[in-house]
Amino acid sequence: MTYIVNDNCIACKYTDCVEVCPVDCFYEGENMLVIHPDECIDCGVCEPECPADAIRPDTEPDMEKWVEFNRKYSEMWPVIVTKKDPLPGAEEMDGKQGKMELFSEAAGEGG
């Protein structure tokens, strides 16, 4: 099992999760985070830290696409281990539908 970040993170990018991760498996894009599925040790400490409920176990139905999505971008983006401010408007974007059209493949700063 591994944990993944889904589209609920897009345009919010809360980083509360990165501070509690014991193996530094979060990677930062311009407007979301992902988890490297091969680095995640399945501890689950990140899941309750996400205000947007964007972190889910891969054992839930239809998660395979998110495992591959997280794998792809974790191999392209820099690691993030330090909590940062969420994106402007994160509270308003939390829970919105159709956020994939806002997704950016651009890397974040990491750090």
Write the CATH number for 54: 3.30.70.20
Residue 96 lies in a domain: no
Q: How many domains does the chain have?
A: 1
What b-and-e string marks burial along 15-52, b requiring 16 or more CB atoms within 10 Å of the CB?
A: bebbeebeeebbbbbebbbbbbbeebeeeeebeebbeb
pLDDT digits (tens, 9 = 90+) for 23-59: 999 999 999 999 999 999 999 999 999 999 999 999 9
Q: DSSP string of 67-98?
A: HHHHHHHHTTSPB--S--PPPTTHHHHTT-S-
The confidence band for 1, taking pLDDT boundaries of 50, 70 and 90, is: confident
Residue 101 lies in a domain: no
Which amino acid makes up residue 99? K
- Asked, for residue 107, whether it belongs to a domain, the answer is no
Element (DSSP H or E) covering residue 66: helix 64-74
Percentage of residues in the chain with pLDDT exceeding 70? 100
Residue 71 forms part of a structural domain: yes
Q: At 20, is the secondary structure helix, strand, or coil?
A: helix
Q: Which domain holds residue 77?
A: 3-84
